Structure 1
Amino acid sequence: MRLPARIDQAAGGLAADAALYAVSAAFALVTALTSTLLPHRAWGAVAFWAYLVAFVVVVVQLVLRRPAFRPALTWLVWGGSALLPLVVQAVQRSGGRTDRAQEEVLVAEHMGERLAHTGTPYLSRDAIAALPSGEQLLGYAPYQPGMGIFGLPRAWFGASWVTDARVWFALVTAGALIAALRLLGPHVRALQFATVLPICALTLATGGDDLPVLALCLLALACCATGRYAAAGLAVGAAAALKLFAFPVLAVLVVLAWRTGNVRRFLPGALGLPVLTLLPVFAVDAGAFVENVFRFPLGHGVVTSPAQSPFPGYLISQAPGGRYVAIGLLVAVALAIAVLLLRRPPRTAAAAALFSGYGLLAAILLMPTTRFGYLLYPLALLVWAPALRQYTAVDAPRSDTALYRL
């Protein structure tokens, strides 16, 4: 048995659980005491206690040598470290607090308002330039059109904690993860890295737009692993209709579907959903879509993106002409991965998860504008791979005909 697997399974998995919750509690405490972002501080003040209680419970199980209820404990910790602080911040925000949500929440809600009133979630470049300087950043919406759906409840029913976009991010995330685990079974480590890992819990509670995208991608992989390629196409297509980050996963799954003879079942949902969300937007103003989704993230907008974590791509882009060097490196790596993908196409969903995880990790490190929080994508995808290995894309458990309803 390899060393990482031995560490992961030590004491029935409890040793790694204890380490995860101890480190998470320390991270939450440091965040609560030192973060310069007020939503993050508020998250840490609540999440710390959830992680601490989980650590104590796991230590007691270690002493008693009874590794029981690990999946249930993971869901409970997610409730305390992500859902509870999310609801607290949403309620405080509806009561008038203006420091209880990150910009991503406001952007998604603005997208919903524009979608409801104009038919497109985007403002044109001229419209953004005409805004007061302090409002131009929030005038941009660097997401796919589907993200505006999460802002529709607020646009239709007004401001309340229930219409906070994060509440709907959480519902979609929970639904996708529950569906995936119903297919794969209770894989605790995979679940932890998609829920209670601080980078995921913090993101959902304070911003949240990345979690439904990630959860839908994980669901698509689970569907591929169990032979449900039509459902996989719908899941990853929905993710791609929300954010461009899903497209690398979509591309890998297209190759997997082709390699396993399921491409006709997979493509309608995978490509159809993103195209359907783009058609009305293009009919209203295609240039606004290009300005928001491509020009702004690449640094050619009216204002500069605040996504500036000190990864190699960002550091290179700060030198004279460095932005073009960083983009060139990003394109070169993408081409190298594409060649490898075609020469050695994945034959299993687990291999597809590894391709997607390493590809997104390379992209995040080399993008000129990026965030530390984006690392949740490769981390979850790479840890999800072992949960997929009990199945193969060409040899799913065909004795269970329920797996082939779609």
Structure 2
Amino acid sequence: MTAPSRAARTWRTVHSAAGGLALDLGLYAISAGFAAATAATSTLAPHRAWGSIATVGYLLAALLVAGQLLVRRARPAWAGTAARSVVAGLAWLTTALLPLVAQSVQRAAGRTDRAQEEVVVVEHAGIRLTETGTPYLGHDAIAALPADERLLGYTPYQPGMALFGLPRAATDAWWTDSRVWFALVTALVLTLAVATLRDTRRFATGSPAPAAVLRGVQAATVLPVCALTLATGGDDLPVLALCLLALAFAAAGRPVATGVAVGLAGALKLFAWPVALVLIFWGATRRSGLRVAAGAFGLPVLALLPALLVDRDALVENVLRFPLGHGLVTSPAQSPFPGHLVATTLPAGRAVAAALLVAAGLAIAVRLLRRPPRTAAATALICGYGLLAAILLMPSTRFGYLLYPLALLIWAPALLSAPTRVPVSRTEAHARA
């Protein structure tokens, strides 16, 4: 038995134990401990505020799952996938949405310690977009800011991210907090992804298993790294949700929609671009590579054009120079992953870390050229492991970025049951029924 098959078998065993409830209980119980530790020890005020509320939410979810385990044999419906989905929805409400709204309301009332820097950056980008036509400040404008404000002068995102700041540009209220709109878009996109996977008319052999889909949704919502990020910062969650939607469209054999979804993600943040590249290779196995690429890279390019025309230098300063470490200030993203440790402790460490990152990229490129992914599940696995390697090896990175590979890897089993070669028309599906 090969190593990948052993890993898959182990995952299936853990995932399905006690009808999925055993892993649910472990997830919520461990998450409650993480939230409690965050509330007690974090040096970031928004994180402590999240932990104080999320701890109760996770404990409530754990208690509900414990009750489901007790009645599983007597009341099977109370412990089925539908009931587990209700608990997961309640967990997301209490561990992500409730802390998010609480912090947004407190911030609107004057608390300045109820949002991470990216929330302010996105809202300022939205205001600048309405006033100047570009979300970016140029080099000279950033240099003119006080030294302690220059970091917030940078907008290291793609232009589409500024759209989430437009509500705050219109009025100052709790509901115009950019996190509220991050959460709304995330919820809508994940709902569409689940609906796509459940649309049996598009599959010849049935849609993916509901239990696997639920596990994938849990990974993108109630996993602490996702719930914490959404409640305190949030800008990564719409990007992640769109990538998951793109993979769901790929599972349904819809290359054009796949390209559009991942292209929208790429118009928000560069993290989606590697996912787009792998999906293009997936599309090439179906003779649809160009159709995927049209949306995957066409939409980000269209989003860049206005900012490029208004102020090219400002675009370069924010989107290229700052992320590469050549801005007026350096990124505070310094989680102690191998790439950061190598860069900061070894002689010529940054060069060594860069070489390791390039080597990992070349290895993935060779894999794609020799054996391009033919299924959506294989695509998700390559994206997940590739982003994990990149995050671990980048000299400047954040712990929160792990939400991308974790969610992508756990999303992959939700795509396994769906064939990806032949989309089935509605008429054909009825004929085969």
Normalised to the residue count of structure 2, the TM-score between the two structures is: 0.90
Quick one: structure 1 residues 383 and 214, their matched pair in 2 at CA, closer, same or farther if it must change by over 3 Å?
same
1:398: how far off? 4.9
Residue of 161, 164, 172 corresponding to 2:185: 172
Which of 119, 126, 130 does residue 112 from structure 1 map onto? 126
What displacement does 1:397 show?
4.8
How far is the alpha carbon of 1:326 from its aligned partner?
A: 1.3
Go from structure 1 to structure 2 and tell me whether the alpha carbon gap of 1:400 and 1:253 turns closer, same or farther (over 3 Å shift): farther
Question: Which one of 130, 146, 149 corresponds to residue 132 of structure 1?
Answer: 146
Give, in angstroms, the shift of residue 399 of structure 1: 5.5
Question: What are the Cα deviations for residues 21-53 of structure 1, in whole angstroms up to 9, with x where unaligned?
Answer: 000111111111111111001101111111111
Asked whether the equivalents of residues 122 and 141 of structure 1 are also in contact (C-alpha less than 8 Å), the reply is yes
1:287, distance to aligned residue in structure 2 (A): 2.0
Structure-2 separation of matches of 1:374 and 1:389 = 25
1:173 shift after superposition: 0.5
Instruction: State the alpha-carbon separation in 2 of the partners of residues 93 and 401 from structure 1.
Output: 54
Tell me the CA shift for residue 338 of structure 1.
Answer: 0.8
| Cα distance per residue 1:232-278 (max 9 Å; x no partner) | 11110000000000001000001101111222432322222101111
Q: Tell me if 1:304 matches 2:324.
A: no
Residues 391 and 401 of structure 2 are in contact (CA less than 8 Å); yes or no, is this contact kept in structure 1? yes
Q: Distance in 2 between matches of 1:281 and 1:94?
A: 30
2:307 counterpart residue number: 281
CA distance in 2, matches of 1:227, 1:326: 38
Q: Give the unaligned 5+ runs of structure 1.
A: none
What letter is aligned with 1:127? A
Counterpart of 2:277 in structure 1 is 251
What is aligned with 1:321? 348
| Bigger mean CA deviation after superposition, 285-294 or 162-171 | 285-294
Q: CA RMSD in A?
A: 1.5
Name the residue aligned to 2:42: 35
Q: Which residue of 2 aligns with 1:161?
A: 174
Q: What residue number does 2:60 align with? A: 53
* Aligned position for 1:239: 265
Confirm whether residue 210 of structure 1 aligns to residue 223 of structure 2.
no
- The question of 1:191 aligning with 2:198 is answered no
The aligned amino acid for 2:379 is: A
What is the CA-CA distance between 1:324 and the residue it aligns to? 2.0
Q: Are residues 1:13 and 2:29 paired?
A: no
**In 2, Cα distance between equivalents of 1:273 and 1:328:** 31
**Cα distance in 2 between the residues matched to 1:312 and 1:284:** 39
Could you tell me which residue of structure 2 aligns to residue 390 of structure 1?
417
Answer whether contact 1:225 1:396 (CA < 8 A) is retained: no
Runs of 4+ in 1 over 4 A off after TM superposition: 396-402
Deviation per CA, 1:306-354: give whole Å up to 9, x if none.
0000001111111442112212221221121111111100000000000
Distance, in Å, in 2 between the alignment partners of 1:271 and 1:400 is 33
Of 380, 385, 398, 1:358 maps to 385
- Residues 387 and 18 of structure 1: CA distance in aligned 2, closer, same or farther (over 3 Å): same
Matched, 1:26 2:33: yes
Q: Deviations over 1:34-77 (max 9, x none)?
A: 11111001101111111111100101111112423011211111
Of residues 223, 246, 251 in structure 2, which corresponds to 1:225? 251
Secondary structure (helix, strand or coil) at the match of 1:368 reads: coil
* Residues in 2 aligned to 1:144 and 1:398: alpha-carbon distance in whole angstroms: 36
Of the candidates 80, 92, 97, which is equivalent to residue 83 of structure 1? 97
Structure 1: how far apart are the matches of 2:292 and 2:248?
A: 14
Taking the aligned partners of 1:288 and 1:400, their CA distance within structure 2 comes to 52
Q: Which amino acid aligns with 1:26?
A: G
TM-score when scaled to structure 1?
0.96
Query: Structure 2 stretches of 5 or more lacking a match?
Result: 1-7, 199-209
Q: Is the 8 A contact 1:143 1:243 kept in 2?
A: yes
State the percentage of identical aligned residues. 63
